[in-house]
Structure 1
Amino acid sequence: MTRASRFRSLALAAVCLVLFSVLGYAVTGDRAPLDSFDVEGRNLEDWADDSRAFIDVLRVVEHLFATVGMTVLTVVLVLGLLLRRQRWAALLALVVMVATSLSTSALKVWLGRDRPEWQGTDFSPLSSYSFPSGHASSTAAYACLLVTLLVLFVRRASLRRLGIVLVVAWWLLVCLDRVLLGRHYPTDVIAGSLLGIGIFALGLALVDPRPRSTAAHAEPLPEVYASERRVAVILNPIKVEDVGQFRSVVSAMARESGWSEPTWQYTTVEDPGTGMAEKAAVSGADLVIVCGGDGTVREVCAELAGTGIPVGIIPAGTGNLLARNLDVPLYLRSAIDVALNGQDRAIDLVRVGGDGIEDTHFMVMAGMGFDAAIMEGVNEDIKKKIGWVAYVVSGLRSLMFPAIKVEIQVDDGEPTTHRARTVVVGNVGFLQAGMPLLPDATLDDGILDVVIIHPRQFLSWITVAMRVLRKSPIVDETLDRRTGSRVRIKASTDTPRQLDGDSVGEGRELWMECIHGRLLVRVPR
């Protein structure tokens, strides 16, 4: 965190806590300059009393986000961040929520303001002190944490804005609930919100939630030869919101890590990365950084395979499957740090061809059937707005993709015939959200993993999903597996096909060959 951002956080904390102190002084003891404002709370409570159903909803909100509910939400948030290896964000969440709870309880007792006398008559009135509102302080602090995490880790602007709107609406709903039920004066709720925001801002000044550098402060790796440390960056410009800011961040981090000023090339619709990668190799780059989705990464990696030039991956797409399976962090600065300072790992590349497509390569997965129909059915406009949710929408539409007859040959073995809704050949094991579709697949074993899926009925997809999640070793006609260095798939009819999430049109054949250790990529140390 920079000095300026820390100063802004401290300034916000000071403003909120000073306003809280002013409110606390004004409404406690015999001082009553805000009584006329607080009496409006009675009018709101009287209005809410006219609808029994509305009161029941307010009571549900009250119980859901009371102390127990917010404690559960805090534990879930902290554990979720720890599982995602965001230790500093988890620490911030824990410190802020605990400090908010303790401060609220202590201030209630110290200031000793009684509850409004107009609490609802249809349920038991609360006898604890009223100022500040614990519901308001805890939800305000939690909402601030969620907004910070959305800003840090959600790259798609539309999803980020939607998330922030929903979080703020939730906080306002809980605040309004306290007044409509007559549990609190309006000033109690305002003060609670100020306290929660103030403690969050103070915590943010003390604990930076951003991931720390994964490699920049480690001992430098030994160089086997002297170089000018030239770095070339290949960027898909539609994958980052602010190209200028991205360039400045990469350039600054490159200089700090001892690299020369990066050279920049942008992909186009006509050339998604192949030409740029060739130019970078010819120009003598010691490192090529590619920022884009799986399609851009595939094009650049295929061109640089066998050159000995390491590729640093900045995941900026919807799936980012290669980056996920290499443990490259999705947080931009951390991914840039790994690209500049990580260690090189030799991974496999897969040569692929088929009817109607030119021979090419893939890094992640290829498929025929249901999975390819999902990729083919994704609406690009919707994908730009809601990201991976577009794949869910397309998947629901394609769930009953008709079964096809396929012939599969692995290495030099005899071809076998199957009925399948989809056949996936993978160089990696995990899909989004850690779905272990091919749990035994690794990127550097020289082996391809094949899964053949044939749920006979709609509900059979649930069985398939459970077996995949459990990493079940059982194979049968519903879910079968194969392994080998060469795979050939022949379908009886024209079938959708995909490579690394990009549809390559319908056809009847795909053949694949794993090329062991063909590509160098940068991974965390």
Structure 2
Amino acid sequence: MQTTEPSQTARTAGPAQTAPPRAGRSPALSSGAARAAVRVGAFAVCQAALMVGAGLLLTGPAQGLWPVTAEVAAVEALEDARTGTLDALSNVVSALGDTTTMVGLTFLVCLALVLAPRLPRWREAVFLATAVSLQAAVFVLITACVDRTRPDVERLDASPPTSSYTSGHTGAATALYAGLAVLVLSRVRAPWRKPVAALLLLVPLLVGLARLYRGMHHPTDVAGGLANGALSLFVVGRAVLDGHTWAARPPADAVDIAVDAAARRSAPARKHATVIVNPTVTDTATRERLRLVLAQHGYGDSSFVETTAQDPGGGRTAEALRAGAELVVVCGGDGTVRAVADALAGTGVPLVLVPCGTGNLLVRNLDLPLSPAEALAAGLTGEPRALDLGRIEGDGFPAVHFTAMAGAGLDAAMLEATSDRAKSVLGWPAYVLAGVKGLRAPRMRLTVRLDG
């Protein structure tokens, strides 16, 4: 079987020439992470300046203007409407936005986003955690710059040392619960998503009302908290979430740019490549980046096919060969690589390895890049190398080929006992944990006989 390895380019003296952009590093393929970070920082500064400016306006020139002049009457009206039942209810609702609840819920939700799905939702977890943290940081800055006394009514809670402006409970509730509503609406397709999102959006409003009822804030303080939380979600969402991101969103004509760049380079004509993808370890963002790398190297008409539990890659590869594929790219872990390599054995069709699994043993042994896009770019620009495969059969199993190693006993039990979820969360240490458990298995006797 043939695989490809990065070629080593010799340096020669001569006139300076403009080299083509490195594979995977053209403007069409750049991640823009640095630019996104700068934008987030700039927007966060603008957010803080806006909120502080509004606070200084409320405590200064706007003190004698409506609606500031009507706030005292509104808070006093809520004080007059207090009952024992409403006091208890408002205490529960207010607790939904306090610091302990926010920290605990944010941690649990982010943990669930990483552990529960088949593929960890890292972007969504970062979105929530960063939005809650950003609003908290801006809140601290606001209270340090704006000194506003709390309403002159009986307060049902102990007064914290911070300024009345803005409502920290309301801001934190907006960042977390409204952020969850955004994720439900954008990531869930079930019919219940809209009612659930509506309930989540209602929570910050109820928290703000509870803070007013308990005499802790003016109405404009609550409005400021809602604005601070909403702005934090907007800034972080634009930087992190797929489809709305500054960070990793290529231009709309990225594929056209990549194909045009490939056409300008002197290279033999490329026809078709088939990409075998393990969907449990390869997310949508990775696939799109790989598609751009392929287009940049002339494989603009490449097909992506997914493996299944019934077909880990061998059947898909056989179909690709019958369709005339001149190159096969495998995106997955060592199991997917083994299945695809077994189907390609003896065909002469090159294989490019794109590490998306946990161990990626073959990729490490060949000293290939561990980044999927960089590994694909290295394979497409490298020289074909012959790769020896091992062949194993016995115990009624059909003969199969393997690439890096074949294991039995503890090694096989360790791999079998390691769940996909554990691998996606822990990485290679998941194998260690499974191996420790396997040490308690009963001993077995094995006889090895070597020919010759």
TM-score normalised by L of structure 1:
0.46
Supply the distance in 1 between the matched residues of 2:220 and 2:401 (Cα, whole angstroms): 61
Q: What does residue 104 of structure 1 align with? A: 139
Q: What does residue 430 of structure 1 align with? A: 418
Greater mean deviation of Cα atoms: 426-435 or 79-88: 79-88
Deviations 1:256-310 (A, max 9, x none): 4x352242265799x966554124345353332468x999999756534676744
Q: CA deviation at 1:252?
A: 1.9
Give the alignment of 1:17-32 within 5 angstroms: 20=51, 23-24=54-55, 27-29=58-60, 30-32=63-65
Report which structure shows greater RCO (CA 8 Å, sep ≥6).
2
Does structure 1 residue 231 correspond to structure 2 residue 231?
no
- Which structure is higher in helix share? 2
Gaps of 5+ in 2: 1-30, 250-267, 363-369, 380-384, 403-407
Decide whether aligned partners of structure 1 residues 111 and 286 sit closer, same or farther in structure 2, where only a CA change above 3 A counts: same
- Which structure is higher in strand share? 1
Supply the distance in 1 between the matched residues of 2:168 and 2:300 (Cα, whole angstroms): 52
Does structure 1 residue 288 correspond to structure 2 residue 323?
no
Q: CA deviation at 1:28?
A: 2.2
Deviations 1:68-121 (A, max 9, x none): 554566788999999999999999888765654343234234332221234445
Gaps of 5+ in 1: 213-225, 316-322, 329-333, 364-409, 412-423, 443-467, 487-525
Supply the distance in 2 between the matched residues of 1:359 and 1:338 (Cα, whole angstroms): 35
Contact 1:97 1:142 in 2 (8 A): yes
Supply the distance in 2 between the matched residues of 1:62 and 1:341 (Cα, whole angstroms): 53
Matched residue of 1:101: which SS? helix
Contact 1:302 1:362 in 2 (8 A): yes
Decide whether aligned partners of structure 1 residues 481 and 111 sit closer, same or farther in structure 2, where only a CA change above 3 A counts: farther
Does structure 1 residue 66 correspond to structure 2 residue 98?
yes
2:225 to 180, 192, 203: 192
Deviations 1:424-447 (A, max 9, x none): 9564552144279x98969xxxxx
> Considering only aligned residues, what root-mean-square deviation do their CA atoms show, in Å?
6.5
AA partner of residue 287 (structure 1): V
Q: CA deviation at 1:130?
A: 0.8
Does structure 1 residue 337 correspond to structure 2 residue 373?
yes
Supply the distance in 2 between the matched residues of 1:120 and 1:240 (Cα, whole angstroms): 54
AA partner of residue 260 (structure 1): Y
Supply the distance in 2 between the matched residues of 1:327 and 1:159 (Cα, whole angstroms): 43
Contact 1:233 1:288 in 2 (8 A): yes
Give the alignment of 1:308-319 within 5 angstroms: 309-310=350-351
Q: What does residue 181 of structure 1 align with? A: 214
Contact 1:231 1:263 in 2 (8 A): yes
Matched residue of 2:418: which SS? coil
Supply the distance in 2 between the matched residues of 1:260 and 1:274 (Cα, whole angstroms): 22
Q: CA deviation at 1:194?
A: 1.7
Matched residue of 2:436: which SS? coil
Contact 2:150 2:164 in 1 (8 A): yes
Does structure 1 residue 261 correspond to structure 2 residue 300?
yes
Decide whether aligned partners of structure 1 residues 427 and 102 sit closer, same or farther in structure 2, where only a CA change above 3 A counts: closer
Supply the distance in 1 between the matched residues of 2:43 and 2:238 (Cα, whole angstroms): 10
Count of aligned residue pairs for this structure pair: 361
Supply the distance in 1 between the matched residues of 2:172 and 2:42 (Cα, whole angstroms): 21
Matched residue of 1:232: which SS? strand
Does structure 1 residue 116 correspond to structure 2 residue 151?
yes
Deviations 1:302-350 (A, max 9, x none): 53467674465797xxxxxxx345499xxxxx98526624789999999
Does structure 1 residue 129 correspond to structure 2 residue 171?
no
Q: CA deviation at 1:133?
A: 1.1
Contact 1:286 1:309 in 2 (8 A): yes
Identity %: 21
Supply the distance in 2 between the matched residues of 1:335 and 1:360 (Cα, whole angstroms): 32
Deviations 1:332-391 (A, max 9, x none): xx985266247899999997998xxx969899xxxxxxxxxxxxxxxxxxxxxxxxxxxx
Supply the distance in 1 between the matched residues of 2:351 and 2:110 (Cα, whole angstroms): 36
Contact 1:297 1:313 in 2 (8 A): no
Decide whether aligned partners of structure 1 residues 11 and 211 sit closer, same or farther in structure 2, where only a CA change above 3 A counts: closer
Deviations 1:476-516 (A, max 9, x none): xxx65769899xxxxxxxxxxxxxxxxxxxxxxxxxxxxxx
TM-score normalised by L of structure 2:
0.52
Supply the distance in 2 between the matched residues of 1:251 and 1:200 (Cα, whole angstroms): 30
Supply the distance in 1 between the matched residues of 2:246 and 2:113 (Cα, whole angstroms): 10
